[in-house]
Amino acid sequence: MSTFLSRLKKDLEKIKNPQKAKLLQRFFKTGKGEYGEGDIFIGLTVPQEREIAKKYYSLDLHDLKELIESKIHEERMICLFILMHKYKTTNHKKIIFHFYIKNMKHINNWDLVDLSAPSIAGEHLLALEKTCAEQSRVSDDARQFYLIQKLVSALLSKNRRQTGAQSIFNSSENELSRAIQVLSVLAKSESVWERRIAVLATFRFIKEKKFDESLKLAKILLKDKHDLIHKAVGWMLREIGKRDLEMEMKFLNKYYQKMPRTMLRYAIERFPEVTRQHYLSK
């Protein structure tokens, strides 16, 4: 552990709050059999985490690797705040993106995912898409291949554990046809957190009024069993509706009867009561 990282941990020790930690552990479902089982909290607020992250923005990736692997939830959150800052300010965004992808297994609670997926994964994928689109001299297939190669190299890193995504990439299919499935493959992962990362990454696309990826994942996840995915997909559908209500309603009219109830309720939360009841009563 570097001296700088040691100082960060000492700063956390000074401001930890055991009473608040107990409340957070209940709120984030850390009990046996719950989605956050085993997660450890020390009782910091998000503003406190942001302040600590700001103080230690200069931590290098070696220290951040140790921080993201911490059993302490707030340390992983602080790491993500630092990564977001580095991604925004560095000229080497690919390095931060790859670090994020390699360490997804440690981004393992909904607040960690929701904070970071749009700002790092989503932002990077959107930027790559824009870069490819600007290369007008290159054919459509070549543009897509350029984007996909970036994703494949990250997901097939030696440091990445074997997942459903990796097994597909290791198949004998044409590389382009395999790699183009990246977000969809993550949406089919056994890990609820990888599925949620895929969904939340598309939030960045939604903000640019690009809805295709979100709608594709929503269709894939209609039969998902986890409440956290129902909420995430419903949330993204609602965000689409804020920007293009016709687009959201077109999707709902086709699939609302197949949706988990929580997903539907989140998607129609802002609808007029009469319209909400129309969807809920059928």
* Domain spans in the chain, listed from the N-terminal domain onward: 1-89, 97-201, 221-282
Q: What is the mean pLDDT of the chain?
A: 86
Beta-bridge partner residues of 40: 72
Within 13 A of 186's CA, how many CA atoms are on the CB side? 27
Range 251-265 average pLDDT = 95
Structure pTM? 0.84
Whether residue 30 contacts residue 44, with contact meaning beta carbons closer than 8 Å, is answered with: no
Q: Is the pLDDT of residue 176 over 50?
A: no
Q: Say what the pLDDT of residue 4 is.
A: 87
pLDDT band, residue 94 (cuts 50/70/90): confident
Q: Give the tokens for residue 180.
A: 């183009």
> Rounded to the nearest 5 degrees, what angle is found at the Cα of 137, between the Cα atoms of 135 and 139?
90
Q: Is the pLDDT of residue 82 over 50?
A: yes
Whether residue 145 contacts residue 176, with contact meaning beta carbons closer than 8 Å, is answered with: yes
pLDDT band, residue 168 (cuts 50/70/90): very low
Q: Is the pLDDT of residue 170 over 90?
A: no
* Rounded Cα distance, 59 and 52, in Å: 12
* Rounded Cα distance, 130 and 125, in Å: 9
pLDDT band, residue 173 (cuts 50/70/90): very low
**Can you name the CATH fold of 1-89?**
Leucine-rich Repeat Variant (1.25.10)
Q: Give the tokens for residue 250.
A: 């077109």
